[in-house]
Every structure is written in structure tokens, then in C-alpha cells.
Chain A
Amino acid sequence: MGLTPRPLCENPAPQLHSIAGISTLPATILSSWLGASGITNVSVAPSDRKLVVLFLRGAMDGASLIVPYGDDEYHNHRRTIGLGTPKSGLIDLDGFYGLHPAAATLKPWFSKGKLAAIHAIGSMDQTRSHFEAMATMERGAEGQAQELSSGWLARALHATQPATPSPLRAVTFGSLLPDTLRGAPSPSVIRTINDVKLGGSKALRGIIKQLYETGDTAAHASGLAALRVLDAMDKVNPDAYVPAAGATYPTSPTGETLRQAALLLKANVGATSVFLDSTGWDSHVTQGTSSGYLAGLFTDLAGALDAFATDIGPMLEKTTIVVMTEFGRRIPENSALGTDHGRAGAWLVLGNGVTGGKVHAEWPGLKTEQLDGPGDLRVTTDYRNVLLEISQLVFGQAITSAALFPGLAYKPSGVFPKALT
């Protein structure tokens, strides 16, 4: 992973400072992180592949985003909240699946072959608890989450850690470290880029640096990483950021985090992996049809992805975006015109390496006897196969199935053929 030619030391040699001393990094090192002209300098080195993970919290209803309208049973199960067929406004994808009309801005990316959907994807774990399912999936565990303490992306980052990684190599937007990055080498948790700065005097930063160099607790390690982040971000001005190519992000939390992710990736400060959350997908009640609650979320999600892909422009050739969720929702609608917790769902993948313009699925069918348990779509693609392929694509072939997903009998998903060449 040749991130930058003159990297910052992961563990800078201890230096002696006066108690009120200034201990900022040499400017030459900073500039190597920032590129000659900071944020405007977008360069895509051949090995500089990037990953954006967007996790839809609460179980997104895959059957409403990528609608299996060609399966007659779908229309029986979703009598009130069904989305019909292309004749009634659904956006046809391949004669069997249709895209929710509220997500229309994704269609051009699909047609251009940049975007693919994966259906009937999910975890082999049977839980229908959000928390357990997220804990299991974010760790990439076979069954119970307790089997693994670290997150899948954390393991991928460890397996391919460059000798001198950027402090911003793995970033999450929010206020908590997600389990996906649990155990990762110095992940940065950023609420908004505007918060990644510290007022006060240079002397103060020097004192804080010295305090955090004197000890070895988790706080010390995190504090030192935070200081390197501050140094790197001193040269970035988020307020001056203008998305490229007229990209317009929705003014929603999802739109805003993707805008900031683009800003960060384009700032060329060594960010490789960005993890983002989107919430509100637990549509038990009145989820709506072509308009309504879920439609609003789809418009927002699609608009944000469209703006992001437009904004990063040529960098999309080196960036893979995966939109995942902990499980899908029950196929029969419930009495409150929503859907309950199910099993398999739908994911989206966009950008580098994706065999796009296609809905990848081994469709399990929607007849009662084909459904799982109380009426759920059967999982025919173990999500770990897709995440393994993405990890190998982004971080390199050195990542083995055994190291990333213990217990996985790898089966090619067909989504990332280039990943395994």
C-alpha cells in the first residue's frame, strides 16, 4: 500500500520537549500527506484504492429497493405496499427486478455498468435481532458474534497495514467506533470534519502531545493518533469545499456524511477506508409505496450516492462503495402496513471492480415453502463472500479467507471477478 512517499511514522521516536514546548510535526512531513496544494490535488495512484462502507441500520427492505416484480408471489405478499411493475412506475432493471422509483438517480450508474445490486444476500446466522445481527455481521462471524472480537474491516486493515500508515487511514463518521472497525489500527472517529480541529495555542498542543506520549493506555494511543489527525487536517478547509462536476448532495445526514467522505478522500490525507452509517430503516409501520416513508429514505440514499460518485469523479475508478444492511425484512407485509424483521435482503455495490448493470442473485423464490421461517427471503449469498472479494480488491490478495472470515467456505459471488485474478 504505497500511500504517500514520505509517510509519517506510526510511532514517532520519543522526543524531548520543554514542558511548554511546541512539538508539531516538521512541515515537510505534513506536506507529503497533504499533497502540494492540499485539497484540490486529487491524484489516483495505481495502488491507491479506497473503500467506502455505508451501513443501513435497522434492516433495509431489500424487496422494496430492488423489487422482484417478476416473481408473481411478490404481488400476493405485498398487496398494499407492493410497488407493482414497470407499467406502474417501477424502474425496470432486467425484466425481473425493478428499482424503486424514488431511487431513480441510481439508474444511470446501473446503466453505465458502475453499479450492481446483490439480492438474497445475508448472514447464515438465524437471529432476527438487530443488535445481534449487526454484531455478527460487523465482525464477519459465522454464527454468534462472540466468536470474534474484532471487526472484519479491522482485520483487513491489519492484514495489509503499511509500515507507516496515515492516521486517517480508517475513518468513521459519527461519534462511536462501529464494530466493523473494532480492533483496527488507530481508527479515527469523526463527527464532522469541522470538529477535527483544536483551538487554542500551539503551546497547548505541545503540552497535550507530551502528556499523551507519556503512557501506554488506550487513551494515550488514541490521543496520539488524534494529534496526528489534527496536524494533517490543519491544512484542510472544509468550509471552502465545493463538490466537483456540479454534484449536489441531499441536505440529510446521509448526504452530509457522504459529502464529507468525498472531501476527506479528495483531500489526499491518506484516508483509505471510510465507514458510514445511515439510520431509520426499521420500517415496521406504514412504510409506504412509491411515496411515503421508505421512498423518502430511498430518494435520500440514491441522491447521496449519485452525488458522491459524481463528486469523486475519476477517483471512482479506484473506489469501491458497498451499501449493506444487517438483514432484510419479512416478505409478507404486516398489519401496520410495514414489514417485520426478516433474513436475506439486498445490497448495492458501486465503483471499482464491480460487474455492474446487473442484479446478482440466486433467487430463492417467494412461495411459502421457499421462504425461511416466518416468511423471510432465504439467504443464497453469504455476505462474507462479497466482503472478502472487496477486501482483496481494495487491500490486496494477501488477505486470505481464513484470516478475514474464519470458517467461510469461499464461493465466488460473481460481483467482483477482477478481484480474484
Chain B
Amino acid sequence: MLDRRTLIVATAGLAAGCKPARTSLDPRQTYLPDRTTKATDADRRRAGHLLSRAAFGPTPALIEDVLSLGLDGWIDKQLTPPTEVIGPASYLQPTETTGLHFRLNSLPCLRPGAIYELRDVSQPRVLSELSAATILRSTYSQWQLRERMCQFWTNHFNIYGRKVATARERKQADAELLYFLADDQRTVIRPHSLGRFHDLIDASIKSPAMIGYLDNQLNKSGNVNENYARELLELHTLGVNGGYTQADVKNVAKVLSGWTIEDGFLKRVGSVVFDGKNHTRGEKDVLGVPINEPNGEAERDKLVEIVTSHGATARYITAKLVDFFCGHESDTYALKDTSARVYRQSAGAIDKVVRHILLSDAFYASKPKFRQPFDYLIACLRATNADTSGIGNIQYQLERMGQPLHQWPMPDGYPDTTTAWVGNMIPRWQFALDLASNSIQNTKLDNNAVKHLCRNRFAPASDADRLTAVLASPEFQWA
């Protein structure tokens, strides 16, 4: 019905029904299309590899796209998606397909408005709609690389949506954390996912969701709370081995003191505001640079400049991006070096760093990367061209596999290693079975896509068993 892609799956040199060898189920090769485009097998493999990592899995149409545009042509196109226009009157985005518009429009919690307006909606509904939006965009967006980067940054700036605190002074901020998440996605993650890292930090530091999550509304002169300051250095910018000291943490906390979440009757509840009387005045030294500015806003701006232009940040952020695209188990030592250089030379331009990584030899030589549950789930939906609303049981499946969205309690985000996830295969198999039996509510398979995916493998087993076997196979767990 909506947004149907035609899956034209060729056998790509595989004898149907033969003994399942490793390559035959490798998702990077399963979708190689008919030779409608002049391209070598090596080209096709590289296209499949790129789409397994820079997208949430290849489709025949996407492979064709890459083959006709070239690797660099496709990457450059993906790096310059049209700006998302999100107005209160309509959530329609002309930059996406009608199918995705239609689905996103059925999620009213995503419509922008004053944050407090959401508070009339139950928290589970807000969480469910936010998660659905992520599932839908990842599955159906034509701007796959942007969705990949949104996934990366959402995890990098992880915020636990269900944080609850008993703080006397919390001024409702904790209770509303979940309501801030939509705003955080809209103002921090999505607009800056391919922009400058500086702008991303600058937006995050002004995000009520982050301020509330890391307790900065409690950070006051004389009663310094170091929580946000520490994570800003340890997790968001320099990295734990970035060379900062406890004194730096203290001083960052002083710079941030007084920044709080506004609350009160008839105010624009939930915005981040500066409370000068709770700010620690005077000069602060951060990473060897004195901060001595006329006002709190200028101090914060200077802090953002210092931490985002630091050499340790260039190394830490780019190394994390290299690991995201290449996996931890690949030889990427040199690539990390050159990527950090690109960061420094471009003043932290994320798109330039990503382009550098995705066009490097090390990327194409990188070993298979174990799919996190979310990546696995989306790859299954894409491979079967499933029609999902993103709501309901599909989210429970994610939870059972261990990766419910916005629910990782710690600020470090979900881990991205094989060892963290590989021990939990059974829920993946159960998901494959549920999907293959069409027993996930609001989620239906595309029979044509399934037919092509299964061909006559695993005959004479039932159709559901055969599809389950393809999706549950060890090969499908890797990208």
C-alpha cells in the first residue's frame, strides 16, 4: 500500500536450495539486484556494504541508486538532505515520501508546540509515539544516513526518558523529562546531526531535557552539582581519557551554575533560563583557558568553544564515529588519525568527517559489525518490506531484545560492541518468528518481498519457518 518498494531480488549467483553457506544469507549480498546497471561484482559488494552501515540495510532500489550515483555521489547526496520544516500547522514534510508523511502524521505528540502542552498526554503515550517515530523514520526514510546519524547522536547524548527523582527543588523538571525528549530531538539531534559538532553541543547545553537529566537545575553557586559538567567532559566531548582534571570538572560546573529550567504559572514552562543569583561569578579556568566573560551566556558560549575545539574532542568524537561505521574489531587505527585531522581542519564539520570515513579503504575493508537489536529489527522490517505503524508490539519486541528506545538509564548510551549484545539471541529468533507469522500487531509482511527473500530455501518447511530461518540466521545478525 504505502511506500512500497519493489523488491527485485536476484539470486546473485546462488544456486537456489543449496546448502546454506555463509555468503548465501549474508544480507550484504542477498539483495544484489539483477544486472540492470553496468557494475562489477566488487562494486555491488561495496554498495551493499555501504548500505549496511550508512543505511539501515540495503534494498534493491538503494543498491541501484548507489551503483548509478557512485559511492561518492550517493554519500554526497545523503549528506545534504533537505532541511526538515516542522511547523505547528502541519507535520507534513515534503522531503520524505508520502508513506512516511502519512505515518508520522498519525503521531500527534511529534507536533511542535510549547513543551507544557504535551503534559496533558500520558507519559507512556509520549514515549510510544517518540519510539514509533524513530522506528518509522529508520525504516522508511529516504535520507537513511541522516537517520543513522540521528541514532548515533541520540545515543551519544543519551537521556533516560523515565528518570524520576524525588528532588525537593526539582520544580517538576524530572517529571517532565519525557515531555522534553521530543523537543530535544527536534532542536538538538535532528537539525545538527550532519552539521558542526560545535552547534550540536551548543544546542544540547541549552536543551531542557539534558539540563534536567543531568541535574543542572540543582547546580548553584556555593552548592555546585558536578553531574552535567563531568558527563559533558567525560562522555560528550573530550572522553574519559581526554586529559581533564577534577579541577576542570569543578570549573565547568561553576560555568554552568545558574542555568536551570524555567517553571511557573503562565510562563513558557520548560525552557532553559539563566538565574544570575545562582551563578558562581568570577574567572574560571577550563582546560588551561581562562573564562572571564561579562555574563553567563558569554561564559557558556566560551565553554562550548573550548570543549569542542579541543584536540581530545577531535580524537574522541571521530574515533567513536569510526567505530560506529566500521565496528570495534576492525583495523581502523590510521583512519582514526586522519578522521581527527579532518575534524580539526574543518572546525568540527560532522558531514566532512562522515564522508571521510565512508570513502576510506578501511571502511570497505572493515569486518562485519554485529547488529544491535534496533538495527536488527529495522533491517528485518526493511528486508521484508513490512508495513508497520511503529506502535505496539513492535516496541515490546525491541524491549525484549534489550534495546527499548530512550530507556537506557545511564548517560553513556547503549554499548556498540559485539560482546554486549551477542549473548541474547533467543529474543531475536522469537521476533523473527513473530514477524514471519504476521503475529505482530500493526505490522504486516509484504508477501512479494518475502517470496524473493526466501526463494526456495529451507523447503519443504512452512513459509513462516523459512522466513524465520532467513531472519534468524547468524548471517543476518551482522551488517
Q: Is the CB of B226 within 8 A of A340?
A: yes
For chains A and B in complex, what number of residue pairs have CB atoms within 8 angstroms?
156
In this assembly, does B168 line the interface, its C-beta being within 8 Å of a C-beta of chain A? Answer: yes
Q: Which residues from chain B contact A340 at a C-beta distance below 8 Å?
A: 226
In this assembly, does B359 line the interface, its C-beta being within 8 Å of a C-beta of chain A? Answer: no
Q: Is the CB of B423 within 8 A of A288?
A: no
Q: Which residues from chain B contact A208 at a C-beta distance below 8 Å?
A: 429, 468-469, 472-473
Residue on A nearest B169 in the bound complex, by CB = A336
In this assembly, does A3 line the interface, its C-beta being within 8 Å of a C-beta of chain B? Answer: no
In this assembly, does A279 line the interface, its C-beta being within 8 Å of a C-beta of chain B? Answer: yes
In this assembly, does A211 line the interface, its C-beta being within 8 Å of a C-beta of chain B? Answer: yes
- Within A297-332, which residues are at the interface with B (CB < 8 Å)? none
Q: Which residues from chain B contact A288 at a C-beta distance below 8 Å?
A: 166
B98 to chain A, nearest CB (A): 36
Total interface residues in chain B, CB < 8 Å: 64
Docked Cα-Cα span, A217 to B329, in Å, equals 12
In this assembly, does A398 line the interface, its C-beta being within 8 Å of a C-beta of chain B? Answer: no
Docked Cα-Cα span, A279 to B407, in Å, equals 13
Q: Which residues from chain B contact A226 at a C-beta distance below 8 Å?
A: 425-426, 429
Q: Which residues from chain A contact B165 at a C-beta distance below 8 Å?
A: 285-286
Q: Is the CB of B223 within 8 A of A335?
A: yes
Q: Is the CB of B425 within 8 A of A204?
A: no
> Of the 9-residue stretches B312-320, B410-418, B441-449, which lies at the interface with chain A?
B410-418
Q: Which residues from chain A contact B462 at a C-beta distance below 8 Å?
A: 201, 203
Q: What is the interface residue range for chain A against chain B? A: 35 or more
Q: Which residues from chain B contact A198 at a C-beta distance below 8 Å?
A: 426, 429-430, 433
Q: Is the CB of A217 within 8 A of B458?
A: no
Q: Is the CB of A176 within 8 A of B402?
A: yes
In this assembly, does A187 line the interface, its C-beta being within 8 Å of a C-beta of chain B? Answer: yes
Q: Which residues from chain B contact A222 at a C-beta distance below 8 Å?
A: 422-423, 425
Q: Is the CB of B424 within 8 A of A132?
A: no
**Most chain A beta-carbon contacts within 10 A, residue among B246, B402, B460, B473:** B473
Q: Is the CB of A284 within 8 A of B227?
A: yes
- Assuming the contacts A175-B403, A191-B427, A219-B422, asked whether A201 and B465 have C-beta atoms less than 8 A apart, the reply is yes
Residue on B nearest A146 in the bound complex, by CB = B241
Q: Which residues from chain B contact A182 at a C-beta distance below 8 Å?
A: 419
Q: Mark B453-475, 1 if CB is under 8 A from A, else 0.
A: 00000111110110011001111
In this assembly, does B21 line the interface, its C-beta being within 8 Å of a C-beta of chain A? Answer: yes
B212 to chain A, nearest CB (A): 12
In this assembly, does A214 line the interface, its C-beta being within 8 Å of a C-beta of chain B? Answer: yes
Q: Mark A207-229, 1 if CB is under 8 A from B, else 0.
A: 11011101101111011001001
Residue on B nearest A186 in the bound complex, by CB = B423
In this assembly, does A70 line the interface, its C-beta being within 8 Å of a C-beta of chain B? Answer: no
Q: Is the CB of A219 within 8 A of B412?
A: no
In this assembly, does B277 line the interface, its C-beta being within 8 Å of a C-beta of chain A? Answer: no
In this assembly, does A160 line the interface, its C-beta being within 8 Å of a C-beta of chain B? Answer: no
Docked Cα-Cα span, A204 to B170, in Å, equals 53
Residue on B nearest A373 in the bound complex, by CB = B246
Q: What are the 3 tightest A-B residue pairs by CB atom distance, in nearest-first order?
A: A175-B402, A335-B223, A189-B423
Q: Which residues of A contact B (CB under 8 A)?
A: 19-20, 57, 128-132, 172, 174-177, 182-183, 187-189, 191, 195-201, 203-204, 207-208, 210-212, 214-215, 217-220, 222-223, 226, 229-230, 279, 284-286, 288, 292-293, 334-337, 340
Can you report 9 A-B residue pairs in the complex whose CB atoms are below 8 A from each other? A19-B459, A57-B410, A175-B401, A187-B423, A208-B473, A211-B25, A214-B22, A215-B475, A292-B166
